[in-house]
């Protein structure tokens, strides 16, 4: 009987130990799985944050490029407008200058004609 009790107790202890170890192993598995899940979730969150940062940076760069393009277009339009204004001013000055030159030419011709008439009159008087 004693041997049988010892055997039974040994068998029960072994079973309890096996079950306990299995239980401990299962608990450790669950703990490891939870840790792995948390690590994956953390990694996913970090990846999402990184993607968002990259997207925001690209938007800022794109926005900056678009702003730069708009500023360049404005500057170009301003230069073109200034050139046109200068051209118009030169054209106006040119037409005024031509009028002035024309008037001066006519005045010289009139002076020549007057001198010629005066000379002719003086010649007539002398005769």
pLDDT in tens, 36-71: 999 999 999 999 999 999 989 888 888 778 888 889
Does the pLDDT value for residue 96 go beyond 90? no
DSSP, collapsed to helix, strand or coil, labels residue 68 as helix
- 19 or 77, greater pLDDT: 77
- Specify the pLDDT at position 1: 62
- In angstroms and rounded to an integer, the radius of gyration of the C-alpha atoms of the chain is 54
DSSP state of 1: -
Please state, in angstroms and rounded to a whole number, the distance separating the CA atoms of residues 127 and 125. 5
User: How many percent of the chain have pLDDT more than 70?
Assistant: 84
**pTM of the predicted model as reported, rounded to 2 decimal places:** 0.37
- Specify the pLDDT at position 31: 92
Biggest CA–CA distance in the chain, Å, is 185
Terminal Cα-to-Cα distance of the chain (whole angstroms): 185
């Amino acid at each position: 009987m004693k041997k049988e009790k010892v055997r039974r107790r040994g068998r029960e202890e072994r079973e309890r130990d096996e079950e306990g170890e299995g239980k401990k192993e299962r608990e450790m598995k669950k703990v490891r799985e939870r840790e792995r899940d948390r690590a994956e979730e953390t990694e996913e969150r970090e990846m999402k944050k990184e993607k968002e940062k990259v997207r925001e940076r690209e938007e800022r760069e794109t926005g900056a490029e678009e702003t730069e393009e708009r500023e360049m277009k404005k500057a170009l339009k301003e230069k073109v407008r200034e050139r046109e204004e200068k051209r118009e001013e030169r054209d106006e000055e040119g037409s005024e200058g031509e009028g002035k030159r024309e008037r001066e030419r006519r005045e010289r011709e009139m002076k020549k004609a007057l001198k010629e008439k005066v000379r002719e009159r003086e010649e007539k008087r002398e005769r």
